[in-house]
A and B are shown apart, each in its own frame.
Chain A
Amino acid sequence: MSIDIDDILAELDRDTTAVEQNASSYPDQSDRTQGNDVSQIRPADKVVDPVVPMQFNKIDDYQRLVTHWKNERMSPELLPYPHHLMTRTLIRIQERIELIETLSMGYLEDNQELTVDSKLPLLCMEAELERLKFLVRSFIRCRLSKIDKYSIYLRQQSELPNNAGLSRLDLLMSKEEVKYHMKHSDILLKLFNNAILKHLPEELQAVNDTEGSISMIDEPDWNKTVFILVCGGVVDESGVDSKLTTDDDGKPCYSVIIEDLNEEIYLLIGAVYVIRYSVIRDLMTEGRVVLI
């Protein structure tokens, strides 16, 4: 169930020229959970307060961004880019910068007694902006470092016929990230080619050779050990969590199976586990567990 809020985003976008609209029609998993109430609240909110759009949603959005950041930092693979969420966040940052500038202009003009009291909101708004900017920056940097690391793997994935070519890469990364990925791997390849590879025999010139003694493609370590917090709370239309079961004591939990060891584990809601990534990957993308 994905709610399409593109028209609303487009309307907001007309006011702020500086932010590029780059999430056109991508389905966004992260928006699924809250999507319902967004569409109900939005139109009314927009009429009341055009300066601060999506007022009802901003706190949730921030929380979700924090979750995305935590997951991205700790997961071994590159996670899908939250297109809609990031567009909204970038719009908000832009508007906030403008608002702060307008406000500080007001202080300059009025030239009344500039007490600490009247400056306090401005101070807090600036501090908050810095915090949000840090979060976005750290998130993007983390993704870029993963794109560096898995560049050959990502390229190989996008070239597989069953993945419908580049569209998959577009889902996984933002426009800028795709651009970075392409350019960076080209530059690196050129360097390797000119420096070493062209002096080697022809059958040893490939950088993505998997036939040799060691595979040259760095794949994410799917079984990496991660720390998770089981949060649960994802419900479908009927108001129940379809994956939720109960353990021997009758407590609510998710049951997962480690295939290599043939072992079943109950993940209790609210508990912290150290577990391999491949086992909980699906639960994480659905938002039922968070990496910490």
Chain B
Amino acid sequence: MALPRDLSIGFSPQEIQFLIENEPIRIMPRITTRKTKKQLAKDPGAQWSLITCDDSTVNNMVAMNSCEVTLWLALLLKQQGKCNIVVPSWLTLQQLEKYLEFELKNPSRFSNLPWNWLVVSSLLFARCSDDFQDPVHLLRSKVQDLREVRLGKVNKGLQYLNESHLQLENLSLMEINEMRPYACGIMDKLRTIHDSSNDTT
């Protein structure tokens, strides 16, 4: 088939990452791309022109003035050593601790972490570990704790699968994608059983 079978039931983790790399993030550029009118007249130089995102911000970067760009661009610049990534405010020890506390206090609810938290945290840990204020190994273990607590809740929530519908609150894209094949399969089967029992009566 034109599409591999494992891709037809859900997204691959790489595709989830692709989707999330389209979201904006704040960076501290280390290069200046903004040009004065004089410079522009003398030598326009290499201009950025992007077709999928806003190119005016990258053309107006001033070193150490924070600006917002898409995540994939930020990672590319970081790889070249041209910027520092400003870590999102939820990715600090203090904030993660609050989330964890909430998770432990409310066994039936998920805390409102941003819906890209798993991907963003793993990307940032891998690619810009020097930009964090807090020690990365502590952050990593906190994220791991959160992940495990939430996984436990997801597993517990699976008992509520039914033939009509389900509402999920604050579940991240990656977590949804993980439970998709199982949840969809079970709900499809439950529905078939329900329908056929209705037909006979």
The interface of chain A, by Cβ under 8 A from chain B, is: 52, 58-59, 62, 66, 70, 73-74, 92, 96, 99, 103, 116-125, 127-129, 131-132, 134, 138, 141-142, 144-145, 148-149, 221, 223-227, 258, 260-261, 263, 265, 268, 271-276, 292
Contacts and interface: CB of A to CB of B under 8 A. Distances in A.
Interface string B167-201: 11101010010001001100110010011001000
Given A62-B52, A274-B168, A120 B187 contact: no
Nearest to B176: A227
B1 A125 contact: no
Contacts of A274: 165-168, 183-184, 187
A228 to B, nearest CB: 10
Nearest to A266: B167
Identify the 4 closest CB pairs spanning chains A and B, nearest first.
A144-B2, A145-B3, A274-B166, A145-B2
Contacts, number: 129
Nearest to A107: B46
Main secondary structure of the interface of A (DSSP, over half): helix
A74 B171 CA distance: 18
A273 B166 contact: yes
B166 A131 contact: no
B188 A225 contact: yes
Contact of B167 (A128, A271, A276): A271
A225 B163 CA distance: 9
Contacts of B18: 131, 134
B52 A128 contact: yes
B82 interface: yes
Given A73-B11, A142-B3, A275-B166, 4 more contacts: A66-B22, A124-B76, A125-B48, A221-B188
Interface size class of B (residues with CB under 8 A): 35 or more
Nearest to A123: B76
Given A122-B46, A260-B195, A265-B165, A148 B52 contact: no
Contact of B52 (A59, A118, A271): A59
B7 to A, nearest CB: 8
Contacts of B51: 52, 58, 62, 92, 96, 128-129, 132
Interface in B92-121: none
Contact of A121 (B47, B194, B195): B47
Contacts of B173: 292
B19 interface: yes
Interface of B: 1-3, 7-8, 10-11, 15, 18-19, 22, 31, 45-54, 58, 72-73, 76-77, 80, 82, 163-169, 171, 173, 176, 180, 183-184, 187-188, 191, 194-195, 198
Contacts of B3: 141-142, 144-145
Contact of A120 (B11, B22, B80): B80
A142 B78 CA distance: 33
A261 B163 contact: yes
Contacts of A138: 15
A275 B187 CA distance: 9
Contacts of A273: 165-168
Contacts of A92: 51
B80 A263 contact: no
A52 B51 CA distance: 9
B184 A224 contact: yes
A144 B3 CA distance: 8
A129 B49 CA distance: 11
A263 B183 CA distance: 21
B39 to A, nearest CB: 14
Given A59-B54, A125-B48, A261 B164 contact: yes
Contacts of A125: 48-50
A144 B22 CA distance: 25
A224 B176 contact: no
Interface centre among A92, A132, A227 (most CB of B within 10 A): A227
Contact of B164 (A103, A263, A272): A263
B53 A59 contact: yes
A225 B187 contact: yes
Interface centre among B15, B73, B82, B183 (most CB of A within 10 A): B15
A118 B8 contact: no
